[in-house]
Chain A
Amino acid sequence: MNIYSVASKNLLRRKSRTALTAGGIALSTWALATLLGFSRGYENALNRDIDNMGFQVLLTAKGCPYEAATLMLKGGTGLRYMKEDIVRSVASNPEVEETTPMLMQGVFDPDKGENGAVAAYLGVDALSFPRMKRYLEFKQGGWFRDNTAREAVLGYEAAELEQREAGDKLLIPGIGAEMTVSGVLKRSGTQDDGTIFLPIGTVRELFSRQGQLTALGIKVRKGADIDALENRLYDLPDVQVVSLAQVKTTIMGLVSGAKAVVLALALIAVIIAMSGVANTVLMSVMERFGEIGIIKSMGALPSDIFKLVLAETAAVCALGGVSGLLLAALTARLSETAARHFLPYAPGGALIIIDGRTAAAALAVILAGGLASGLYPAWRAARVRPVEAMRGEQ
């Protein structure tokens, strides 16, 4: 019989106590693994959302609402335009990999609601825009044939509202222009879901906006100095620079405050669980002083007793830790739903990633903490003097 089988027998003698201690450890492992998984998952998801935008910097005319939602809030007014020449000027920067011009147009539709509303159309380049937004997938059809086609691509929600499918006609109110729906996008979880895309040349022609842009998306080369590029763009007259790197920093700043609080709570949970482990193992040692004395009198060394108690501690921590990890993996989606409810902004995709790396990190913390908690009881057990223990003096 080795020390491990003795340790497991000892644990099984007090099943309820072992189960309660392992349960406490499981809960703190769950909290820790979920938090570590959230920490990785949130940043990954945010990076993915920003990458999915296709461009890292957006250039618009100063004061121009560059999102359809803002445009609608302003009743379709307030659009400002840049000269198309700016594309060449921006593309000449060595950091720029590619640019995509956009031209937004709002149209008042008197037949929406009681008093009418604004319908917004986004003119995009038929070549560069799909290349940058590779994450967009089609439910039906595909992108327009060229920049002057009388075709439209509808985001998922826009298509639902307009009840459009590929091949259907779409009428632009006010000007009476008919488009053919060339494609309907799958839901992407971004503002593209509510957007009606038209070829940029068609928007220019329909609304007499030759040589004008409302926005320019800029994709930066990998590893290029975005700050240096942004500083040069700030010097351009009458344009505003929207940096998605800044947006990411701001969001991460907001979330890191919440993460710090939750991490502190998780650590408190770990400390409480470890105190429980120390208490349980110490009680177990004190109850078995006589037994330990007999083992020592039979020739066991203090180091053997030390190892025996630490083995018991490690077994309880491993049992609780693995259960906690399973719980964290099983409830990841539920925890994600709760996180989305409370967070001011939650990117699309998995927010909590419980993978091998996260699990190993959480288990390492729990095992290290557990073993540290078992050191004192193990030391007390190792110091037991056989004769005194058998007399029941200790």
Chain B
Amino acid sequence: MTVLVVAEHDNATLKVATLNAVSAAQKIGSDIHVLIAGHNATAAAKAAAQIGGVTKVLHADAPHFAATTAEGLAALVAAYSHILLPATGFGKDCGPRIAALLDVAQVSDIIAVESPDTFVRPIYAGNAFATVQSKDAKKVITVRATGFDAAPASGGSAAIESLSAPAAGDRVQVLGQELTKSDRPELASARIVISGGRGLQNGANFKMLEALADKLHAAIGASRAAVDAGYVPNDYQVGQTGKIVAPDLYIAVGISGAIQHLAGMKDSKVIVAINKDPEAPIFQVADYGLVGDLFEIIPQLTAELG
């Protein structure tokens, strides 16, 4: 059985979530193809060919794939029985569009593969896990990165096959992107994440977390409350409707622990909670809770790390 993974990339490099999707694909079949649809994306295609376990890379290069809009991908993937995308902003945008054009009910956000047609996915913000079986002949699936280890980025030597890119409508124009610039690791794939909540009181206080994040080479995240209050941009948000993370270490600072937030981080290996309210629900999921004033504790913690 051949499984296709639709890669997320920026034409030069692969997004890490693609590697997790490849790993999920390996639990379904052994013949793994990766699609790179992009523009001047030879570097991304070469990177995909090196992923351990990948048997073939399909490279469709066209100007209309430069910025990934959801249109035009379905025609490239129709031949496969299993089509997997990472459950990132990209995959969530494109996956259902592909599925509907193939008349397939998509299985979203899987965290485990039970068999080639049966998968486990969280529902109700992760408060329940559903085991679901797809009755469609083809499967279109988005993969939650935290459910699968990343496939090795090197060690493979798959052949790269060029595909002619079907003409796509030019209806949707990308007028621009405002990307958050940061030297820190990507939130969704960082080994350590430090997140701030309403307890930080304002955006300027997030600077405190930066000093700590620098020491730990950590990414910085935030609760929805902190994003809604305007302390930090939305792409910092960890939670049911933001990013789902599962780092080795998650440090929640001034976050009470709403269900919505827990849904985005409770699969982290080790959770630290720092909050002045001993009753805050975040302590119920924390391995190490520290009750106290974060404005005293964060500088102490930063100093302790020397």
A joins B in a complex:
no
Listed in ascending order, the chain A residues whose CB lies under 8 Å from chain B are: none
